[in-house]
Chains A and B, each alone.
Chain A
Amino acid sequence: MIFLQNTAKRINLAWTPGHTSVAIVIVALAVGFLPFVKMGLVANGVFLGAIIALGAIGLTLVFGILNFANIAHGDYMTMGAYIALFIMGSLLPQVGIESSGLGPFTFGYSLLIALPVAVAGVAVGAIVLDVLIYRRLRDRGVNVVVMAMASLGIAIALRGLVQIIWSGDTQHYPRESRQVYHLPMDVRIPPDAIFIAIVTIILVVGVYLVLTRTRMGKAMRATADNPDLALVSGIDVQRVTWWTWELGGVLAATAGVLLAVFQAQILPIMGWKFLIPLFAAVILGGIGNPYGALVGAFVIGVTSEVSTQWINPSYKPAVAFAIMIAVLLVRPRGIFGGGRS
């Protein structure tokens, strides 16, 4: 049970020689398999991995600092995707801003307005939920299983809310069809994927800078490392908690919008279904380890995409879990062995 695993909870930002050797093994394995694999699937997996990474980094930070598995994280993604849909599909057209094409992308300028609004909405929503629900539970000293179950309830409630407001039908952002880029080895990259890659890189670098350069980021790492010592050092743990939700919410909302763009469709269940690769990436990377989540996300993204070459695509989540279990059998604390016992 992942919810009971109360051991590893340290935000580990040090890149050690051990990490290098693990990375080399992963790269070597990947290169070894390349000749047998359709490169198009690999490319697809990399972009999927980028989206998983955004969700997983937020999830692992919340896990590390607040010490519970936030099952609602996938539905925070869904909320982000739907808020952006509302802005792009309803609000902006009503005030007369029609989505015109933006460069080579399928979406228009309106996405650049919708994305920040969705991000702000989810970040604020995450804090509201903390104040209304999680903080009350924390103050009563409930254990991690209760917290996880509460987040499961929130996940279901959020999904219900989305269905009430936007219906359960498949929808999509306003889009124009675009030529995909044809690269050698039968790799086709949709222009939107370039956008996904750029946003992911910016956010990953941003999170790194926040955690290593800002006072609040350092306080987050300190709180994850040693909550009692954080308290007696005078760190305002409540504020740290809120900033953690902010960061997690920003990353989740962005991941949700990018996923809706990448899949060219949006469904109330999309975030919920994404939980499996998210948790697989988090656990694979070692709970509380943002680097691990990043690497784990790409491992999960690429392998589950590539598996569709031989296996029915509906088994993708099963592949993600199989990989996670296989890795944990060898390295019980994840690829990078982050955290303490």
Chain B
Amino acid sequence: MGLLEASNVVAGYGQTEILHGVSITVEPGEMVTIIGPNGCGKSTLMKAIVGLVKVRSGIVRFQDTDISGYPPEQIVQTRLCYVPQSNNVFASLSIRENLEMGAFTRDDDYRSRIEEMFRLFPDLAMQPGRKAGTLSGGQRQMLAIARAMMLDPVLLLLDEPSAGLSPAMMGTVFERIREVNQAGVALLLVEQNAREALRMSDRGYILVAGENRLEDAGKDLLSNPEVARLYLGG
């Protein structure tokens, strides 16, 4: 039984249907990457899983519970957490306040968790009072991940964590993501930088026009000449 099982998910915005029945699974502790051309529905799938976009038909099961009708704040409490692609920090709040907001649903003392996040992301520990809006792109991305980590997720969804980052910063962010995964957190990743992401991933899915196109182990997708030509830019 998979940790996350989305089957035949149909979702969209208003009149427009973006996902025409997409299925993916993530096993416990696994890192899975979704790639595909722009507009294929990668981000929409993420939003449908976390409840920001309504699932019109199909089912999303997480740890054997059907979460497809849950509101986002309830899904988060099942320890399925999500880092959006853009605007993924509270810009007018400080680093520490951002982490506190990540822990909003926790009633216990989460201060030790904040310290853990500071150890995992040392960049954030230097000025915990600094406004998130003043951080560099890479620091923001790490804060966004740390915020989502506050609830100690079993599965973390990352939408384009490397978007807009310098190559050096990208390396650092991917390094942190790998560390998060090695700590036992299953990851579902949407990534423009497909080669790098697939290299780290156990499995990958290729999504085209709101439908599954291909599913394979990460390294097999990388070595597949057709995939390389069509989706990895040669």
Instruction: Give chain A nearest CB distance to B73 CB in angstroms.
Output: 5
With an 8 A cutoff between CB atoms, is B100 at the interface?
yes
- Does B90 lie within 8 Å of A229, measured CB to CB? yes
Complexed CA–CA distance, A222 and B84 (Å): 15
With an 8 A cutoff between CB atoms, is B29 at the interface?
no
Inside 8 A of A218's CB, which chain B residues have their CB? 93, 97, 100-101
With an 8 A cutoff between CB atoms, is A200 at the interface?
no
Contact of A225 among B50, B90, B104 (CB under 8 A): B90
Contact of A231 among B52, B88, B102 (CB under 8 A): B52
Given A232-B72, A236-B73, CB of A226 within 8 Å of CB of B87 = yes
Residue of B nearest to A13 (CB): B92
With an 8 A cutoff between CB atoms, is A233 at the interface?
yes
Interface string of A264-295 (1 = CB under 8 A from B): 00000000000000000000000000000000
Complexed CA–CA distance, A163 and B59 (Å): 55
Inside 8 A of A340's CB, which chain B residues have their CB? 91
Instruction: Give chain B nearest CB distance to A229 CB in angstroms.
Output: 6
- Does B104 lie within 8 Å of A219, measured CB to CB? yes
Residue of A nearest to B91 (CB): A225
With an 8 A cutoff between CB atoms, is A14 at the interface?
yes
- Does B97 lie within 8 Å of A233, measured CB to CB? no
- Does B73 lie within 8 Å of A235, measured CB to CB? yes
Inside 8 A of B165's CB, which chain A residues have their CB? none
- Does A235 lie within 8 Å of B84, measured CB to CB? no
Given A14-B131, A218-B97, A228-B84, CB of A234 within 8 Å of CB of B104 = yes
- Does A233 lie within 8 Å of B52, measured CB to CB? no
Interface string of B172-187 (1 = CB under 8 A from A): 0000000000000000
Interface residue total, chain B, C-beta cutoff 8 A = 28
Residue of B nearest to A231 (CB): B72
Complexed CA–CA distance, A218 and B100 (Å): 9
- Does A14 lie within 8 Å of B100, measured CB to CB? no
Within 8 A of A (CB), among B36-64: 50-52
With an 8 A cutoff between CB atoms, is A73 at the interface?
no
Within 8 A of B (CB), among A1-25: 10-14
Instruction: Give chain A nearest CB distance to B68 CB in angstroms.
Output: 16
Within 8 A of B (CB), among A225-249: 225-226, 228-237
Residue of B nearest to A10 (CB): B92
With an 8 A cutoff between CB atoms, is B77 at the interface?
yes
- Does A229 lie within 8 Å of B84, measured CB to CB? yes
Inside 8 A of A229's CB, which chain B residues have their CB? 84, 87-90
Residue of A nearest to B71 (CB): A231
How many of chain A's residues touch chain B, expressed as a range?
Answer: 20 to 34
- Does B52 lie within 8 Å of A222, measured CB to CB? no
Complexed CA–CA distance, A232 and B91 (Å): 16
Instruction: Give chain A nearest CB distance to B2 CB in angstroms.
Output: 22
- Does A233 lie within 8 Å of B101, measured CB to CB? yes
Within 8 A of B (CB), among A195-229: 215, 218-219, 221-222, 225-226, 228-229
- Does A222 lie within 8 Å of B76, measured CB to CB? no
- Does B93 lie within 8 Å of A215, measured CB to CB? no
- Does A237 lie within 8 Å of B101, measured CB to CB? no
Instruction: Give chain B nearest CB distance to A247 CB in angstroms.
Output: 18
- Does A11 lie within 8 Å of B151, measured CB to CB? no
Interface string of B146-160 (1 = CB under 8 A from A): 011001000000000
Inside 8 A of A221's CB, which chain B residues have their CB? 90, 92-93, 97
Interface centre among B50, B93, B100 (most CB of A within 10 A): B93
With an 8 A cutoff between CB atoms, is B205 at the interface?
no
Complexed CA–CA distance, A221 and B52 (Å): 20
Complexed CA–CA distance, A131 and B117 (Å): 38
Complexed CA–CA distance, A229 and B88 (Å): 7
Given A215-B104, A219-B104, A222-B101, CB of A234 within 8 Å of CB of B91 = no
Complexed CA–CA distance, A164 and B82 (Å): 52
A sample of 18 more A-B contacts (CB under 8 A), given A218-B100, A218-B101, A233-B102, is: A13-B92, A14-B131, A219-B101, A219-B104, A221-B97, A222-B101, A229-B89, A230-B101, A231-B72, A232-B76, A232-B81, A232-B82, A232-B84, A233-B76, A234-B151, A235-B104, A236-B73, A237-B73
Sampled A-B contacts (27; CB under 8 Å): A218-B101, A219-B101, A219-B104, A221-B90, A221-B93, A221-B97, A222-B93, A225-B92, A225-B93, A226-B89, A226-B90, A228-B87, A229-B88, A229-B89, A230-B101, A231-B52, A231-B71, A231-B72, A232-B72, A232-B81, A232-B82, A233-B102, A233-B104, A234-B73, A234-B77, A234-B102, A234-B105
